A and B are shown apart, each in its own frame.
Chain A
Amino acid sequence: MNGEDARATCMLAVERLTVAYGRTVAVQGIDLRVEVGQVVCLIGANGAGKTTLMRALSGLLRPEAGHIRLEGADITGQPPHRIAALGMRHVPEGRQIFAGLTVAENLALGAWLEDESAEIARRLEQVLALFPRLRERLAQMAGSMSGGEQQMLALGRALMGAPRLLLLDEPSMGLAPLFVEEIFGIIEELKREGRTILLVEQNASAALEVADYAYVLETGRIVLQGPAVQVAQDPAVLAAYLGG
């Protein structure tokens, strides 16, 4: 594959990325790629560095070393609003919705960078079609909804930004089983639409089922990678993450 083709199909390229909190190095020289239209999942135990990696990708943390390229453009060390303007949307761990604002305001903030009101209205219809329960709650304070509904709002808010790359950090964390199923259903649906997604999950079996490609992270390093079906059959992964 020559350089130009690589650029045309590569959404995200992470090269030797190192991220630290003071002297604690949480991500140690990671290489990772997400191709256009792919769902890539990243699994790993608690504290492995998944959230740290995601926060560095969206600009919330400044990397110590390495490079992050989004569709060929070097975004290393850029502030979050610039990276968002290039089409990355990060649904952070723990949802981070604007609890004291209404659901409608949260969704409007998702489309903050879009000026055209017709386009915003079109996106809102799409999001409400995907999450019908948000429609009845538009005027409600976001913080008064259940955890599962808040997660849908966090997803909907990100989709309001018409992302070219969607980062999802543990979207099923802490949710009731019914909501977990619903969230993974939504991810399937987004995948069918051809969206490009980097998914971090503790629920490894569900993540490996929906993903095309998978990385396994242990104490800040990638220890295994490959097509999701292969990773799902790896004996070490079966033992450590799939309870097998």
Chain B
Amino acid sequence: MLAQQLINGVLLGASYALFALGFTLMFGVLRVINLTYGFYFSAGAFAALFLTRDAGLGIWAALPLAAVTAGLIAVALDWLLLAPLRRKRAPELASLMVTLGGVLALYSAATAILGPDIRRLPPGLVDGTVFELAGLRVATPQLFILVASFVLVGALVWLLNFTRLGLAIRAMAENPDAAGLMGIDTGRTAALVSFVAGCLAGAGGVLIGLNFNAIHPYMGESMMLRGFVVVIVGGLGDIRGALIAGLALGVVEVLTAGYVDSGLKEAVAFAILVAVLWTRPSGLFGRPALRRA
């Protein structure tokens, strides 16, 4: 029973980590708490819904396409809402309020257009075979979620640590002015970071949509609350911290639901957040900066 709960928790946590990675990356490089981030999650889930239900694509094709769609939306929103403020070197509070207004407008527009109902992915999208191993049950969709999360996290770690773009991103996270002096086009790099972060959020939306088979416009909002817990516990801008905290949150939620009360899982998550902030204000893993994973 416990082992089964742990497996389910890790599966859930892998998607949380994936989602939170993009958020923490965005903060680490662009130095702004971008509240529109949750919307990319909803956008990715809906893109996957349309791609599988209406365009008849399989999940392996729909996942990357939905992620890229969310990434492009992220770039467009960053350009529209935040790039003008960056150019003016506006204070962080201005950016925060602009993204708050922006995300509320986006959710209500999406609800007006798409309707508030919960949508389901087409049945049989991932074949439902359940594997049994030593009494533990893992269904194929869960396996898919796990593999996809680990591949995407691995791709991000590789991008940041082993590519030329990754070096530019890390330089910009450390010191945007100095990065510009090196000849790095910081505006372009910011757009690429938005794209990568949007892709991660969108992929998270697809995977969570698949896990719970429930897609609706506001799904990004409840995810955003978890995203906050993960990046703050892990340390804002800390990639490794977000990974560990994301997995831990998934496990904690599943254990709370299993042994205490499923209505309490959010309360427990936030109690942990408050406890961590009381004891370690810059997160479990120290200083707030984009760090090697």
Assess the B180–A80 pair: CB atoms within 8 A.
Answer: yes
A58 to B177, CA, bound (A): 10
Assess the B167–A81 pair: CB atoms within 8 A.
Answer: no
Number of contact residues on A: which range applies? Answer: 20 to 34
Across chains A and B, the number of contacting residue pairs, with CB separation under 8 Å, is: 70
Within the complex, which residue of B168, B174, B183 is in contact with A100, where a contact is CB–CB below 8 Å? B174
List the 10 closest pairs (A to B, CB-CB), nearest first: A80-B180, A84-B183, A113-B183, A98-B174, A96-B178, A112-B182, A109-B182, A81-B185, A112-B183, A81-B183
Assess the B171–A98 pair: CB atoms within 8 A.
Answer: yes
**Segment 247-293 of B: residues with Cβ below 8 Å from A:** 289-291
Q: Is B187 an interface residue (CB 8 A)?
A: yes
Chain B residues in the interface with A (C-beta under 8 A): 167-168, 170-171, 174-175, 177-187, 289-291
Assess the B183–A85 pair: CB atoms within 8 A.
Answer: yes
- Shortest C-beta distance, A80 to chain B (Å), equals 3
- Shortest C-beta distance, B262 to chain A (Å), equals 41
- Shortest C-beta distance, B185 to chain A (Å), equals 5
Max chain B CB contacts within 10 Å: which of A92, A98, A101?
A98
A60-B181, A81-B186 known; A96 vs B167 contact (CB < 8 Å): no
Q: Which residues of A contact B183 (CB under 8 A)?
A: 81, 84-85, 112-113, 161
Within the complex, which residue of B171, B186, B187 is in contact with A101, where a contact is CB–CB below 8 Å? B171
Q: Is A130 an interface residue (CB 8 A)?
A: no
**Segment 145-193 of A: residues with Cβ below 8 Å from B:** 157, 161
- Shortest C-beta distance, B160 to chain A (Å), equals 12
Q: Which residues of B contact A105 (CB under 8 A)?
A: 167, 170-171
23 contacts between A and B (CB under 8 A): A60-B177, A60-B181, A79-B180, A79-B185, A80-B177, A80-B181, A81-B180, A81-B185, A81-B186, A84-B182, A92-B178, A96-B181, A97-B175, A98-B171, A98-B174, A98-B175, A100-B170, A101-B170, A101-B174, A109-B179, A109-B184, A112-B183, A161-B182
The chain A residue with its CB closest to the CB of B185 is A81
Within the complex, which residue of B178, B185, B186, B187 is in contact with A98, where a contact is CB–CB below 8 Å? B178
Within the complex, which residue of A60, A98, A108, A110 is in contact with B180, where a contact is CB–CB below 8 Å? A60
Q: Which residues of B contact A96 (CB under 8 A)?
A: 175, 177-178, 181
Q: Which residues of B contact A110 (CB under 8 A)?
A: 182
**Segment 12-64 of A: residues with Cβ below 8 Å from B:** 58-60
A60-B177, A84-B181, A90-B181 known; A109 vs B186 contact (CB < 8 Å): no
Max chain A CB contacts within 10 Å: which of B167, B183, B291?
B183
Q: Is A6 an interface residue (CB 8 A)?
A: no
Q: Is A67 an interface residue (CB 8 A)?
A: no
- Shortest C-beta distance, A94 to chain B (Å), equals 10
The chain B residue with its CB closest to the CB of A55 is B177
Q: Which residues of B contact A59 (CB under 8 A)?
A: 180
The chain B residue with its CB closest to the CB of A142 is B174
**Segment 74-97 of A: residues with Cβ below 8 Å from B:** 79-81, 84-85, 89-90, 92, 96-97
A58-B181, A59-B180, A109-B182 known; A99 vs B167 contact (CB < 8 Å): no
A135 to B185, CA, bound (A): 29
- Shortest C-beta distance, B279 to chain A (Å), equals 24
Q: Which residues of B contact A108 (CB under 8 A)?
A: 167
A105 to B180, CA, bound (A): 15
A81 to B186, CA, bound (A): 8
Max chain B CB contacts within 10 Å: which of A92, A101, A105, A109?
A109
A58 to B167, CA, bound (A): 22
Q: Which residues of A contact B290 (CB under 8 A)?
A: 100
- Shortest C-beta distance, B71 to chain A (Å), equals 23
Max chain A CB contacts within 10 Å: which of B170, B174, B185, B291?
B174
